[in-house]
């Protein structure tokens, strides 16, 4: 039985790198993949408006449709703005790329921090809300909300580890079913009211909603504040809009056009559903109360249903299957809405890792060509939030919205700068007119999102500070990671010429390299001293761009050691090297193969997390091969030297005259260096 059989059963067979194009999404699959969060929010955003207005009693509920219109206008403005983004920045960086290019790296990190917090909260809020709906329908599950929420996150993680296309196909049916259910409910309600002249009454319409006690002298100011708070709560309907701009690379070609079309489809459907629910809520007389004693006339054992449940029950009072269908697909879509974050977070994490703000492991695609490490990280952090807040969606949702509107504002202001910069040099009247129109759209979007952010901060700061604190922590952490990688790169940068001339020797030697930095050149120099019969450098082609750059630098330096490139269609390092060594032994059984592995040593435990351990895995496999000798050539970084000074040692001619002295430990076959990097992340 293959050793990786359980893994293959869970996530499927590994896919070759050249199959990446087959995982790209058509619009019909991309819509449920990237828009499920934005679409599902219409299930609770109208309810949040009604709950907030209920503080002032039944007299304030008639403001719900005006607030709904303003929220819809903001949504359309944001979507129109993001359609400009996907055309101008189709690489998938989304808000992060726009802010970084137009405002600088620090602004980009602010956006990235906000989006990452928002993605985590999307998973936490969506899963706990979905579980809460299920528990409401099945009371016997009460008390198990925490365990069920964690289980749902784990299941979503497993489905996404199987690949974007497979998870999208699995989630497409529930998402489309939710659209059909809600839009069908709105149309059926309109038919009963306008066509048949029938009245529809929600169960809460029979009760009397009283205002909470307050200071009448501040009634005017309090009402304005209440309306603003209701508006900010309703803006939860906008969460998830940015996911498409962050996921453009996952679309089929033409990527930008398909992404823009999907954005428009999502906005149209979401606005119709959102306004339809608010209209039906007013038509059926739904009343939501923040506190039980507000509903006068309700039985003592009365449990308040969600607004959507009350509406569907009233609309489908003469067609019970319709009510159960809407209830089922609503609970399901709230859970599956987390899938938007599982597609957006890993892509953003990969881009940040490529820019050296997050560990390089997040840039690596897994067996199914998905960013597996990012998917797992998102699931773990979301579970941590769920446990910390005891799977309570009411508490978690208060942290929502802030992050996404910070990203909205930075993105729109960045796009205004983008168009302004291009207009300075563009002379074609038609192109200039198009740019000016796009800038006007982004300006209007900025005004809308800035107003919302101010309102959200003013009305929800008592809860929003937790999300803001999380953003600050992420920002500081990413800056620290970038400083570490920059410091390592400076220390490892290779000299303009090789440290020594490699002479032919009597042993067949292989020096593993990923790029020409000092550890690699030191390993080449040390291999010469071993007097191999033949000597060659070997690299594994995980990233074609990195491999091409290595070839060019190799030729430019005129290194006499031949460079052999091993193909790796599954992005694996260990397997190709083991197979190559095995072939050498098979062709010449009496020869000894000596493998030299350049590696560097770090001094702090947390630095280990920022570098892969491919060399350690490779050494562990090679040491069991007969006739194969493994030699580590460590290069100590300054952090390790500060923690544990070593006696100076260097191979003859290995350090150029005038270079700062380094103190690498003596190379040995059983080296136990703290960190080993033979993959494409070695000097990052």
Output the pLDDT for position 383. 92
| pLDDT per position as a tens digit, 296-333 | 766 666 677 778 888 998 999 888 888 889 888 887 88
Output the pLDDT for position 7. 47
420: number of Cβ within 10 Å: 13
Question: Taking Cα atoms as reference points, which of 216, 420, 184, 495 lies closest to residue 315?
Answer: 184
Nearest 5°: CA angle at 532, between 527 and 535?
A: 70
Residues facing residue 534 across a β-bridge: 508
Output the pLDDT for position 97. 86
Q: 419: helix, coil or strand?
A: helix
Return the structure tokens found at 249: 């690379």
| pLDDT per position as a tens digit, 239-265 | 777 777 767 777 888 888 888 898 899
| pLDDT per position as a tens digit, 553-604 | 998 888 889 999 998 887 788 888 998 998 888 888 878 889 999 887 877 7
CA 472 to chain centre: 18
Residues of the chain with pLDDT below 50 are 1-5, 7-9, 11, 15-22, 165, 215-218, 368, 499-505, 645-684
CATH code that applies to domain 493-643: 3.40.50
Output the pLDDT for position 676. 39
Output the pLDDT for position 566. 92
Q: Return d(Cα 248, Cα 262) in angstroms, integer.
A: 10
Question: Taking Cα atoms as reference points, which of 586, 645, 636 lies closest to residue 607?
Answer: 636
Where, residue-wise, is CATH 3.40.50 in the chain? Answer: 493-643
- Would you say 34 and 340 are in contact if contact means Cβ atoms under 8 Å apart? yes
Output the pLDDT for position 672. 33
DSSP states along 472-519: HHHHHHHHHHHHHHHHHHHHHBPPSS-SSPPPPBEEEEEEE-SS-BHH
- Cα 34 to Cα 31, 37, 90, 491, 537: the distances in Å are 6, 7, 15, 42, 44
Output the pLDDT for position 39. 84
| pLDDT per position as a tens digit, 192-228 | 999 888 889 888 887 777 766 654 444 566 778 888 8
Q: Return d(Cα 645, Cα 329) in angstroms, integer.
A: 64
Long-range CB contacts (< 8 A, 24+ apart) of 479-484? 479/109, 479/357, 481/356, 481/357, 481/358, 481/359, 481/610, 482/355, 482/356, 482/357, 484/607, 484/610
Return the structure tokens found at 480: 């620290």
Return the structure tokens found at 361: 């492991």
Q: Give 13's contacts (C-beta < 8 A, 6+ positions apart).
A: 367
- Would you say 313 and 202 are in contact if contact means Cβ atoms under 8 Å apart? yes
Where, residue-wise, is CATH 1.20.1740.10 in the chain? Answer: 26-299+318-483
- Judged on CB neighbours under 10 Å (0-12, 13-18, 19+), 196 is exposed
Domain 26-299+318-483: state its class. Answer: mainly alpha
| DSSP-H helix ranges across 288-319 | 307-315
DSSP run (H or E) holding 597: strand 593-601
Output the pLDDT for position 482. 92
Q: Return d(Cα 315, Cα 458) in angstroms, integer.
A: 37
């Amino acid at each position: 039985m293959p050793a990786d059989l359980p893994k293959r059963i869970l996530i499927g067979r590994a896919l070759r790198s050249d199959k990446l194009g087959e995982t790209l999404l058509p619009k019909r699959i991309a819509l449920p993949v990237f828009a499920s969060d934005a679409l599902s929010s219409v299930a609770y955003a109208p309810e949040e408006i009604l709950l907030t207005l209920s503080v002032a009693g039944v007299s304030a509920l008639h403001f719900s449709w005006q607030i709904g219109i303003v929220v819809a206008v903001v949504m359309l403005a944001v979507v129109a703005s993001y359609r400009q983004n996907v055309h101008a920045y189709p690489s998938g960086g989304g808000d992060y790329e726009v802010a970084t290019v137009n405002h600088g790296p620090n602004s980009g990190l602010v956006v990235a921090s906000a989006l990452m917090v928002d993605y985590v909260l999307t998973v936490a809020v969506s899963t706990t809300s979905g579980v809460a709906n299920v528990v409401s329908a099945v009371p016997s599950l009460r008390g198990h909300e925490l365990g069920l929420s964690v289980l749902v996150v784990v299941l979503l993680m497993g489905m996404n580890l199987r690949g974007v296309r497979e998870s999208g196909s699995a989630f497409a049916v529930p998402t489309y079913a939710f659209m059909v259910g809600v839009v069908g409910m709105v149309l059926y309600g309109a038919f009963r009211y306008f066509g048949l002249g029938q009245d529809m009454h929600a169960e809460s319409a029979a009760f009397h909603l009283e205002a909470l006690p307050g200071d009448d002298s501040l009634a005017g100011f309090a009402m304005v504040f209440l309306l603003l708070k209701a508006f900010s709560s309703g803006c939860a309907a906008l969460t998830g809009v940015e996911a498409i701009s962050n996921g453009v690379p996952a679309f089929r070609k033409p990527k930008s056009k398909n992404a823009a079309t999907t954005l428009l489809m999502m906005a149209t459907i979401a606005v119709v559903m959102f306004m339809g629910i608010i209209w039906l809520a007013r038509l059926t007389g739904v009343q939501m109360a923040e506190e039980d004693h507000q509903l006068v006339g309700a039985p003592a054992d009365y449990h308040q249903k969600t607004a959507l449940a009350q509406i569907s029950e009233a609309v489908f009072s003469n067609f019970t299957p319709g009510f159960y269908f809407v209830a089922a697909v609503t609970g399901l879509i709230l859970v599956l809405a987390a899938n938007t974050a599982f597609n957006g977070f890993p892509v953003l994490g990969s881009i940040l890792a490529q820019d050296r703000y997050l560990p390089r492991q997040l840039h690596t695609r897994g067996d199914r060509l998905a960013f597996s490490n990012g998917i797992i990280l998102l699931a773990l952090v979301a579970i941590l939030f769920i446990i910390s807040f005891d799977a309570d969606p009411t508490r978690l949702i208060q942290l929502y919205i802030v992050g996404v509107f910070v990203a909205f504002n930075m993105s729109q202001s960045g796009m205004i700068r983008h168009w302004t910069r291009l207009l300075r040099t563009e002379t074609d009247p038609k192109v200039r007119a198009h740019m000016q129109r796009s800038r006007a759209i982004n300006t209007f979007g900025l005004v809308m999102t800035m107003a919302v952010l101010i309102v959200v901060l003013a009305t929800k700061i008592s809860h929003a500070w937790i999300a803001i604190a999380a953003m600050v922590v992420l920002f500081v952490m990413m800056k620290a990671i970038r400083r570490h990688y920059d410091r390592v790169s400076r220390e490892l940068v290779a000299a303009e010429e090789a440290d020594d001339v490699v002479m032919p020797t009597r042993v067949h030697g292989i020096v593993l390299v990923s790029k020409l930095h000092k550890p690699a050149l030191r390993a080449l120099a040390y291999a010469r001293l071993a007097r191999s019969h033949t000597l060659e450098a070997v690299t594994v082609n995980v990233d074609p761009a990195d491999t091409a750059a290595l070839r060019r630098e190799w030729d430019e330096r005129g290194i006499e050691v031949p460079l052999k490139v091993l193909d790796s269609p599954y992005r694996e390092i260990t397997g190709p090297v083991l197979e190559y060594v095995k072939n050498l032994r098979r062709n010449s059984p009496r020869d000894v193969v000596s493998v030299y592995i350049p590696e560097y040593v770090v001094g702090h435990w947390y630095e280990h997390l920022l570098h892969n351990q491919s060399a350690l895995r490779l050494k562990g496999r090679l040491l069991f091969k007969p006739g194969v000798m493994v030699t580590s050539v460590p290069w100590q970084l300054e952090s390790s030297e500060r923690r544990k000074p070593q006696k100076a040692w260097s191979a003859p001619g290995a350090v150029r005259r005038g270079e700062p002295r380094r103190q690498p430990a003596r190379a040995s076959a059983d080296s136990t260096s703290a960190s080993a990097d033979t993959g494409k992340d070695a000097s990052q």
